[in-house]
Amino acid sequence: MIVKGKVLKGEQKATKLGFPTANIEINVDLEPGIYAGKAVVEGVTHNASIYIPSKNPHLLEAHILDFDCDLYEKEIEVHILNRLRKEVRATDDQKLREMILNDVEMTRLSIGNLSK
C-alpha cells in the first residue's frame, strides 16, 4: 500500500527518545501496529519503520532509517510493505526505546528478506 501526505508536527515523543518520525494523515484503514516499509523523500527511497497508533489510526508515523533532515510541511510517499507486530504499550520511556530499537532491527531484516 502507498500513502502520500504532508509531514505534520507531532508530539515529539519519539524524537526525544532518538527516533524522529515523519507524521502524515492517512485516509485508509490500517490495523494499528508496527510495519516495515519505505519512505520516498524528494525522489530518494529510504527504509522506514512505520507506526499506526490505535488512538489515532488515521495518523502514520514513519521513522526513516539513517535519515536526519527537517521534513515539516514536505510531501512524502510511504510504501507499507508488511506488518511486523501489533501495538504494545510500553511501561516507561526506557522500555519504549528498547521496543523501537527492536522494531528498527526487524525492519532492516524484513526489508532485506523482501529484496532477496
Q: Give the CATH number for residue 31.
A: 2.40.30.30
Distance CA 7, CA 36 (A): 19
Q: Is 38 exposed, middle or buried (0-12, 13-18, 19+ CB in 10 A)?
A: buried
Distance CA 20, CA 33 (A): 17
Specify the 3-state DSSP secondary structure of 12: coil
**pLDDT level of residue 70 (50, 70, 90 thresholds):** confident
For residue 115, pLDDT beyond 70? no
For residue 96, pLDDT beyond 90? yes
**pLDDT level of residue 7 (50, 70, 90 thresholds):** very high
**Model confidence, pTM:** 0.91
Phi/psi at 109 (5° precision) = -65, -45
Radius of gyration of the chain (CA): 13
pLDDT in tens, 46-63: 999 999 999 998 999 999
| Domain extent at residue 92 | 2-114
When divided into structural domains, the chain yields a total of: 1
